[in-house]
């Protein structure tokens, strides 16, 4: 796989009486890999990165892949720096001085002031800003300074490249639930993720479906806008996500990619 990365005297006071100790730092949240459950990504750290403690995440054909919150918090920055620096990026405030940064995004999926939890899609992998190719630039900061990243309390590899598997948003089975909404007509089920595949049945309007995995395919305009996402609801059975209410804009974080 071709990898593409971005290089992005205090005075001392002497007190005659009592020395007041500094307040202890707040414990870090339990951060998780910033991608949906069960996905594996190659993460690289290097000493000439800016900041050095950041990780660049990459995998094959990752442009547009969903990025999720690595811990619960409140979104406090959603901005676009144009063709420089982070480009489109999101910052999440986790409290206690802890923040995370998600940079070079292709698009946003949250707004300032929004509360997010594990597995919440906040944006999509892109190559905006000072980037030479699609990837996610990710940081964990304490008190405004980038620190060495930890996932589930274990420090990431410094320095080098490592594959990280996400358990972000995993809960029980890795399936999702959806409700078909076609405003009356049955929804055609295809043998593959696209309108060019053969029809193998229908699902009634209003019926519930179990989504085993999701993938990209033919772009379809339906009840929930225009989408290229297709949901596998059984062996060799796919329906367009544009007609399925799942509670998410885009991919469901807990459902694997087909």
Torsion angle in degrees (nearest 10) through CA of 47, 50, 53, 58? -90
Calpha distance 57→137 (Å, rounded): 6
Structure tokens at 17: 């009486």
What phi, psi does 150 have (nearest 5°)? -125, 140
Q: Answer left, alpha or beta for residue 86, where phi above 0 means left and psi between -120 and 50 means alpha.
A: alpha
Tell me if the bond preceding 159 is cis, omega within 30° of 0.
Answer: yes
Q: Are the beta carbons of 222 and 243 closer than 8 angstroms?
A: yes
Q: How many CA atoms lie within 13 A of 38 on its CB side?
A: 16
Lookup result for tokens 């993938």 = 215
What is the pLDDT at residue 27? Answer: 76
Would you write out the chain's pLDDT as a tens digit for each of its 258 residues?
344 444 443 333 333 333 444 444 567 888 999 999 889 999 999 999 999 999 999 999 999 999 999 988 899 999 999 999 999 999 999 998 999 999 999 999 999 998 888 888 899 999 999 999 999 999 999 999 999 999 999 999 999 999 999 988 876 556 777 889 999 999 999 999 999 999 999 999 988 888 888 899 999 999 999 999 999 998 899 999 999 998 788 888 767 778
What is the pLDDT at residue 254? Answer: 65
pTM for the whole structure: 0.62
- CA distances 151 to 27, 31, 98, 154, 240, Å, are 14, 5, 14, 5, 34
**Cα 249 from chain centroid?**
12
Contacts of 138 (CB under 8 A, 6+ apart): 34, 43, 54, 55, 56, 57, 70, 100, 101, 102, 103, 149
**Cα 195 from chain centroid?**
28
Lookup result for tokens 């019926």 = 207
Torsion angle in degrees (nearest 10) through CA of 193, 185, 246, 128? 50
Calpha distance 55→84 (Å, rounded): 18
For 242, which DSSP code? G
Q: Is 171 helix (H, G, I), strand (E, B) or coil?
A: coil
Contacts of 97 (CB under 8 A, 6+ apart): 25, 26, 142, 143, 144
Q: Which residues pair with 230 in a beta bridge?
A: 215, 240
Q: Are the beta carbons of 153 and 145 closer than 8 angstroms?
A: no
């Amino acid at each position: 796989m071709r990898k593409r990365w971005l290089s992005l005297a205090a005075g001392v006071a002497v007190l005659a009486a009592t020395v007041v100790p500094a307040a202890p730092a707040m414990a870090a949240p339990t951060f998780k890999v910033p991608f949906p459950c069960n996905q594996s990504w190659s993460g690289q750290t290097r000493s000439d990165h800016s900041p050095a403690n950041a990780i660049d995440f990459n995998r094959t054909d990752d442009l547009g892949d969903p990025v999720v919150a690595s811990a619960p918090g409140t979104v406090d920055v959603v901005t676009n720096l144009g063709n420089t620096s982070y480009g489109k990026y999101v910052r999440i405030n986790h409290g206690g001085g802890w923040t995370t940064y998600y940079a070079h995004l292709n698009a946003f999926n949250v707004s300032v002031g929004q509360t997010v939890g594990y597995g919440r899609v906040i944006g999509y992998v892109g190559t905006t800003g000072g980037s030479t190719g699609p990837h996610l630039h990710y940081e964990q900061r304490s008190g405004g300074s980038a620190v060495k990243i930890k996932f589930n309390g274990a420090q990431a590899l410094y320095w080098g490249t490592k594959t990280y598997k996400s358990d972000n948003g995993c809960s029980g089975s890795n399936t999702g639930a959806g409700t078909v909404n076609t405003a009356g007509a049955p929804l055609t089920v295809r043998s593959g993720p696209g309108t060019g595949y053969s029809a193998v049945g229908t699902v009634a309007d209003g019926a519930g479906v179990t989504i085993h995995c999701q993938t990209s395919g033919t772009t379809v305009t339906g009840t929930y806008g225009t989408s290229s996402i297709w949901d596998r609801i059984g062996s060799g059975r796919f329906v367009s996500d544009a007609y399925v209410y799942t509670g998410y804009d885009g991919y469901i974080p807990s459902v694997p990619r087909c």
